[in-house]
Amino acid sequence: MKIAELNSTIAALYLMRRDKRVPKRSKILISIAIGYILSPIDLIPDFIPFLGQIDDLLIVPALVGMALRSIPKKVFEEYKSKAQQVQLTKRFGKITLVIIAVWVVVIVWLVRVVLKFIQHTV
């Protein structure tokens, strides 16, 4: 898959995530790929030269490719044409806020756990 096609493919995957014709495995992979794209936190931070960008270039296309293997081609083509007609920026904005909120909760929880651990060891 070409990088230029990735945006329209991801938009199509986002739209088809609730379609009953799409297998559950694909829906899970779609959710992970979209969450990873929209997440401000990467597995390998972007400030690390070369590796920070490579994880984005490998993980997202791999997840999308795995999701596409089990989606019927007719269904995918239907949603790809819909994705080209619909603007998803407002919905992605709301999803981004939810993902950021989840990460904030996780980080606060981790900080509390670390602080408790430090207090018990001192």
In single-letter form, the type of residue at position 121 comes to T
CB atoms under 10 Å from CB of 63, counted, come to: 22
Is this structure's pTM higher than 0.75?
A: no
DSSP single-letter state for residue 48: S
- Is residue 32 assigned to a domain? yes
- Is residue 65 assigned to a domain? yes
- Is residue 95 assigned to a domain? no
- pLDDT tens, position by position, 9-39: 778 888 888 889 999 998 888 888 878 877 7
Do residues 70 and 23 touch, judged by C-beta distance below 8 A? yes
- Is residue 46 assigned to a domain? yes
The residue range of the domain holding 70 is: 3-88
- Is residue 19 assigned to a domain? yes
- pLDDT tens, position by position, 97-107: 777 788 888 88
